[in-house]
Structure 1
C-alpha cells in the first residue's frame, strides 16, 4: 500500500472514532466550548510533542518550518477548519444520531475533491468522479431520509456545512503540506482552540469547563483532531488533495461502527442503503491507479525527503548520509513514466 494511503486511512480512523466520543459530551458541554476544548487538546498535545522531539534532537528530520509566505494559507485553513467547522459539527450533533453524523462526514471528501478539481485544477479521472457520485448520492439520501424531523434536517445541514469548511481547510493546507506536519497541526489547534474558548467564555458567557471536562475533551481532540491532522498533512504530500479526501472518506465508517456499538443506536434501512452506496464509492477510490509518461519542470523547494528517483541532487554542505533529511534543493527537468498521484512533485498538466 502507498505510504500516503496508509497515512490517510490512519487519519480517517482517528477522526472517525472521535465523532461518537464527542457526541457523549454533547449536553454536558456547549458546542462552541466543546469545539474549543477539542482543538486546545490537539494544540497543547502536539506542542508538547514538538518540545519533546526537539529535546531528543529529532527536529532536524521533521520537515521544513513554516515561513511567512505560508501564513495566509494557514490562516485561512485555521479560520475555516479550526474555528467555524468544529462549531457547526458540534451543533449538528445535537440533532442527529452519532452514526448518521459519521456517515454525513463523507461529504468532506466529496467537497474537498470538488474544490481541488475546479478551483485548484487538480487532475481527476472518470473512476474518481463516479466514486464521488456514489458518495454524494449517499449523503443526499441520509439528509432526506424519513427519520428526519425539522430539527434533525437542520442538524444534518450543520454537519454538511462543517464538511464544506473542512474541505476549504484541506485545500488551503495542501499549499503548506511540505512543511512540518506537527507544527502545522499544533498551530491550527492552538489558534482555533484559543479563539473558540475566548468566544465561548467572554461572548457567550459559558461556564469555565471543569478539569474533568477539559481533560476528557482534550484527549479526544489530541487523538481525533491532532494526530489525525498530522497524518492527513503527510497524506497530502503524497496523494494530493482530492485523493487524500477520498481515502479520508473511510472515517465516517469507523465512527458509525463505534457509534452503533458504543451508543446502542438502531439505524433504519435508509442508513444501510446509504452505507452501501458509500462503500461502492470508496472502493472505486481505493482501487484507482494512474500512470502515464509525464515531465517534471525545474523546481526549487524545501521539505523532508530521501534520495529517490525524484531527488538526485548534490549537497552544498557536509552531509552525514542520514535520511530523511530537510534542506533547500533543486529538481532538474525530468521525463519518465511510473504510477503516481498529484503529490508535491506531480502537479503537471494532462
Structure 2
C-alpha cells in the first residue's frame, strides 16, 4: 500500500466521517423535529454555509484574479449549460425524491429494518455505475464492496427486527434514488465541487422545507434551528463537497463504497457521546469495513488505453494528461483552472475511473491488475 494509492480515498472517507457523525449529533443537538423538516433544514444549512464560503473565497482571491491572464478562470463559478440536466436530475432524485420516500417509509417500517435496508444504496450505486455507465470493476473491488456492505448489515442488525413490507420497499426506493443521484453527480464532478454541493443544498433544502411546512410542520425555536443549519453545513455541505471531489478522482462505485462506512463513524461518535462498551457486532462490522477499504486501496488497475478527444474545465497541473498549450499568457502558476482540450492519447499506467479515464474495457484491452 502506497501513499499514492491511499490519498484518493481520503476525501471519500472524510465525507463519510462528517456525514456519519451528523446523525448522532442531530439527535443530541436538534431534538425532536419532523423528519422531512429536519432534512430540509440540514440541506438548507448546507447550501447557505457553502454559499458563504464561496463568497468568502471569491473575495480572498479577487486580488490574485486581477493579476491572472484572461482565460485563467480560477475564481469563476459556472456550470456549463449542457451539464445542468445532470445536476437537476441529481437534485431531484437525491435531494427531493430520496428523502421523501425515506420519510414515508419510516412511517410504515421499524428503524432496524430501515437501517439494514439503507446499506442497499452502496450496492445500487455500484450496479448502476458498472452496468449503465460502464465503470470498470475487478474482483478485488467487488469483494471490497461486499465486505463493506456486510459490515453495514451487521452494524444495523437487530435480531427479529428486519421484515419486508411496503415501508421497506419505500426505503429501497429511497436508496435507488440516492444511487441515481450519485451517478448523475459524477457527470458534473469536473465543476467546482463547492458550487455543485451548494446548489444541491439550496434547491433540495428549499423544496423539502416547503413540503414539510405545507404538511403542517412548524419551524423550531432559534436554538434548534441554528443547530440544524450548522450541522447541515458540516454533515451535508462539507461532506458532499468532499464526495464530489472523490467522484472526480475515484469514480462512482469506489466513492460510494468508501462513503458507505459512514454508519461506522456514526456509531463511534454515539459511543463517544453516550459512553458504552461496543458489542461483538460492532467489532465484526469494523473489521469487515476496514478489510473492504483495504481491498479497495490495494487495487491496481493498469492497461493500455486510449484517451478520446475531450474538452472541459477543471483545476489541474501540467501532468501526463495535460500537455496542452495556452491561448493566453500563462504566468506558470499551478494548479490552475481554464477551459482546455485533450487530444487523442494512447498510453499505459495505473489509474482509477476518474474524469480522464471513463473509457470502456474490452477483451483486447490488455488489462493488468
TM-score (norm 1): 0.87
Name which of 292, 296, 299 aligns with 2:307.
296
CA contact (8 A) 1:4 1:236 kept: no
Name which of 244, 253, 259 aligns with 1:233.
244
CA contact (8 A) 1:61 1:324 kept: no
Query: In structure 2, what is the Cα distance between the partners aligned to 1:238 and 1:126?
Result: 20
Name which of 165, 174, 177 aligns with 1:165.
177
Name which of 174, 183, 187 aligns with 2:195.
183
Query: In structure 2, what is the Cα distance between the partners aligned to 1:63 and 1:167?
Result: 30
CA shift at 1:155, angstroms?
7.8
Deviation larger for 86-95 or 312-321: 86-95
Q: Secondary structure at the match of 1:307?
A: coil
Q: Is 1:85 the counterpart of 2:98 in the alignment?
A: yes
TM-score (norm 2): 0.83
Q: Is 1:133 the counterpart of 2:146 in the alignment?
A: yes
**Which residue does the alignment assign to 2:9?**
5
CA contact (8 A) 2:58 2:75 kept: no
Name which of 220, 229, 232 aligns with 1:221.
232
CA shift at 1:314, angstroms?
0.6
Name which of 97, 111, 119 aligns with 1:96.
111
* Unpaired stretches in structure 2, ≥5 consecutive residues: 66-72, 362-369
CA shift at 1:127, angstroms?
1.2
CA shift at 1:108, angstroms?
3.0
CA shift at 1:281, angstroms?
2.8
Q: Secondary structure at the match of 2:111?
A: coil
* Unpaired stretches in structure 1, ≥5 consecutive residues: none
**Per-residue CA distance 1:59-108 (angstroms, 9 max, x = gap):** 843576202211111111111211233455567499537xx94x865443
Q: Is 1:243 the counterpart of 2:263 in the alignment?
A: no
Q: Secondary structure at the match of 1:329?
A: strand
Q: 1:150 to 1:130 in 2, by over 3 A?
A: closer
CA shift at 1:218, angstroms?
0.8
**Which residue does the alignment assign to 2:52?**
48
CA shift at 1:346, angstroms?
0.5
Name which of 116, 119, 126 aligns with 1:113.
126
**Per-residue CA distance 1:2-53 (angstroms, 9 max, x = gap):** 4431211111111111121123367611001000110000000000111111
Name which of 326, 341, 344 aligns with 2:352.
341
Deviation larger for 187-196 or 317-326: 317-326
Query: In structure 2, what is the Cα distance between the partners aligned to 1:62 and 1:115?
Result: 34
Query: In structure 2, what is the Cα distance between the partners aligned to 1:141 and 1:9?
Result: 20
Q: 1:88 to 1:286 in 2, by over 3 A?
A: farther
In the alignment of these two chains, the number of paired residues is 345
Q: 1:130 to 1:149 in 2, by over 3 A?
A: closer
**Which residue does the alignment assign to 2:209?**
197
Name which of 200, 207, 210 aligns with 2:218.
207
